[in-house]
Amino acid sequence: MANTMQFDLVSPERSLASLSATAVQLPGADGDMTAMPDHAPTITTLRPGILKVEAPEGSSEYLVTGGFAQINGDGLSVLAEKAIPVAEVTRSHLDDLVAEARASHEAAKAGDDQTIVDDAAKLLADMEALGTHMSL
Amino acid sequence: MPNLKDLKNRIESVKSTRKITKAMQMVAAAKLRRAQESAEASRPYAERFNAVMAGLAASVGGSDSAPKLLRGTGSDDVHLLVVMTAERGLCGGFNSSIAKLARVKAEELRLKGKTVKVLTVGKKGRDALKRDLGDLFVGHIDLSEVKRLGYTNAQDIAKGILSRFDGGEFDVATIFYSKFVNVVTQIPTAQQVIPASFEDTEGDDSGAVFDYEPSEEAILADLLPKGVATAIFSALLENGASEQGARMSAMDNATRNAGEMIDKLTIQFNRSRQAVITNELIEIISGAEAL
């Protein structure tokens, strides 16, 4: 059994990481999950959160918002709408994200579709939790 | 024969035109490199995205529960043409070839009795189509203030299109842009984005059976709107590279033409100068002989 797998993190604007990793922790839509080599093939959407990559050379963390991950036997590709290395995340990044989430929450409340309101509220909560998590 | 002064002025003005076109060519070359880089950087995302979508679409596509964005509204009476062009001119046939493609398509649809609506992105396309299709315009997106194209620009455009779709304003959306092949070749392209079609993309051929979290339908419903944004983003980047490529070769041509014109005018100038001298000599000699 291979003990590393190919990990790719790409955003629409550029490819952020392409390396071999031993484990990757993902913020899946239905809950966090960790993908390791020979994981069952899975496609999952992501909620905003922190993605942790563990590689032989050391681990790294990324802030991702939205997108999805595709896991197959020998690799993992994460296609995130926005992805920023955690070291580069600043309070203002986060404020932007929270503001965006809040705006969509407000917009959703004006409509009458309850699921959209719930989704937006969840997004907002996710964003705020992120801030606390990173103690910014 | 024009007099010497006129010729001299003419040569000077062509010379300064050549300087300008030369500078524009060099600016375009520098911008082209950047545009090409960002177009290339965005490719892995689009490719993977489409591969996953193609796989998903193939497994869910047939059912009645498939999202509207994939299945269509059931009719194809109203077409939205999203015409994406540049904000600036002086780039050869770039803008006009996209506009021409859109015009032909609009005409074809109208002959079939469909309703056509036009959304323009970029000022030049709007100007080019105003006369023929002006009454079909439903909106315009201005990118002239945008310094560097980002995914958010594409998201905004996609959001606008999707809200029109949700409002039942159209059944089929097609985007028009120019695909960048190399500096001298750009192919005007029409691509249908709603309902999404993945006929030209190859599905994931790993043959693996994937687990889906949450369900296939939920993922598809989440990804289809992003698919529209992704398609628009790649189209914008292709367009950006094509525009600079087209401008570069157009300005290269212009610089060369100006050079040829300067040579021609210089020969003409020298000939007339000689003619003037000869004339003067003849006058002096015939004057001396008359004495």
Token pair 């079909």 is at which residue?
B136
Asked if B249 and B25 count as a contact pair (C-beta separation under 8 A), the reply is no
Grouping H, G, I as helix, E, B as strand and the rest as coil, residue B92 is coil
Amino acid at B158: A
Distance, CA of B47 to CA of B238 (rounded, Å):
14
Q: Are strands A42-45 and B211-213 parallel, antiparallel or unpaired?
A: parallel
Do both A68 and A82 map to the same domain? yes
At residue B1, the pLDDT reads 58
- Cα dihedral across residues B189, B190, B193, B197: positive or negative: negative
One domain for residues A34 and A59: yes
Same domain, A72 and A109: no
Distance from CA of B189 to the nearest CA of A (A): 21
pLDDT tops 70 at residue B203: no
A99 and A56 assigned to the same domain: no
**Chain B residues within an 8 Å CB radius of A81:** 151, 226
Residues near B271 by beta carbon (within 8 Å), at least 6 away in sequence: none
Q: How many CB atoms lie within 10 A of CB B1?
A: 10
The alpha-carbon gap from A46 to the nearest alpha carbon of chain B, in Å, equals 9
pLDDT of B253? 94
Flag whether pLDDT at B200 surpasses 70: no
Same domain, A42 and A81: yes
Asked whether the beta carbons of B62 and B219 are under 8 A apart, the reply is no
List residues of A whose CB lies inside 8 A of any B CB: 8, 10-15, 28-30, 33, 40-45, 66-68, 70, 72-73, 77, 79, 81-82
Residues A73 and A111 in one domain: no
pTM: predicted TM-score of the whole model, two decimal places = 0.84
pLDDT score recorded for residue B262: 96
Mean pLDDT lowest for which of A74-78, A132-136, B80-84, B247-251?
A132-136
The residue ranking higher by pLDDT, B204 or B146, is: B146
Task: Enumerate domains of chain B plus CATH numbers.
Answer: 4-21+251-290 (1.10.287.80), 39-249 (3.40.1380.10)
Identify the pLDDT of residue B75.
Answer: 79
Cβ-Cβ contacts under 8 Å, B206 against chain A: 41, 72
Domain extent for A14? 5-87
User: Mean pLDDT across the stretch B211-227?
Assistant: 82
pLDDT digits (tens, 9 = 90+) for B223-235: 888 888 888 999 9
pLDDT tens readout for residues A8-56: 898 888 888 888 888 899 888 888 889 888 888 888 888 888 888 988 8
Q: Is the dihedral of CA A18, A24, A25, A28 positive or negative?
A: positive
Mean pLDDT lowest for which of B62-66, B101-105, B124-128, B254-258? B62-66
pLDDT recorded at residue B155:
87
Q: How many domains does chain A have?
A: 2
B211-215 mean pLDDT: 80
Contact A97, A48 (CB under 8 A): yes
Lowest-confidence segment of A21-35, B103-117, B145-159, B197-211 by average pLDDT: B197-211
Hey, how many other C-beta atoms are within 10 angstroms of the C-beta on B135? Answer: 7
Counting residues of chain B whose pLDDT is more than 90, the rounded percentage is 42
Least confident of B36-45, B81-90, B142-151: B142-151
pLDDT in the model for residue A113: 63
| A70-121 pLDDT, tens digit each | 888 778 889 988 888 887 777 777 777 777 777 777 776 766 666 666 666 6
| Cα torsion B150, B151, B152, B155: sign | positive
Q: Are residues A34 and A78 in the same domain?
A: yes
Residue that is last in its domain, among A87, A102, A117: A87
Q: What is the mean pLDDT of residues B28-42?
A: 90
Q: Are A47 and A80 in contact (CB under 8 A)?
A: no
Alpha carbons B114 and B106: distance in angstroms, whole number: 9
Find the mean pLDDT for residues B211-217: 80
Task: Say if the ipTM goes beyond 0.85.
Answer: no
- The amino acid occupying position B213 is E
* B56 is an active site residue: no
- Inter-chain residue contact A77 with B48, CB threshold 8 Å: yes
> Measured between alpha carbons, how far is A100 from A108 in angstroms, rounded to an integer?
12
DSSP B23-45: HHHHHHHHHHHHHHHHHHHHHHH
**Residue (of A64, A71, A114, A14) closest to B211 by Cα position:** A71
Q: Is the pLDDT of residue B191 over 70?
A: yes
Of A87, A102, A119, the one marking the end of a domain is A87
Choosing from A87, A104, A121, the residue where a domain stops is A87
Distance CA A102, CA A84 (A): 20
> Given B14, B91, B220, B223, which residue is catalytic?
B91
Q: Examine the domain organization and report whether A60 and A123 are in the same domain.
A: no
Name the token pair of B186: 């750009």
Question: Looking at per-residue confidence, does B204 or A16 come out higher?
Answer: A16
Instruction: Enumerate the residues of chain A whose CB falls inside 8 A of the CB of residue B38.
Output: 13-14
Of residues A12, A14, A70, nearest to B52 (C-beta): A70
Q: Are residues A69 and A112 in the same domain?
A: no
- Sequence-separated (6 or more) residues with CB below 8 Å from residue A10: A16, A77, A78, A79, A80, B44, B45, B48
Residue percentage of chain B with pLDDT more than 70: 93
Note whether A13 and A80 are same-domain residues: yes
Identify the pLDDT of residue B65. 65
Average pLDDT in chain B: 87
Give every strand in the sheet of B186-194, ordered side by side: B137-141, B115-121, B78-84, B172-180, B186-194
Closest CA to B170 of B109, B110, B117: B117
Q: Where are the alpha helices (DSSP H) in chain B?
A: 4-60, 68-71, 94-111, 123-133, 151-166, 216-290
| Whole-Å CA distances, A3 to A30, A33, A40, A55, A56 | 26, 18, 15, 10, 10
Residues A66, A23 share a domain: yes
Q: How far is CA B111 from CA A120, B105, B116, B148, B279, in A?
A: 44, 10, 11, 39, 69
| CATH number of the domain bearing residue A80 | 2.60.15.10
Cβ(B76)–Cβ(A48) under 8 Å? Answer: no
Both A19 and A71 in one domain: the answer is yes
> Which DSSP letter does residue A46 get?
B
At B119-159, the pLDDT tens digits run: 999 888 888 898 888 888 888 888 887 777 888 888 889 98
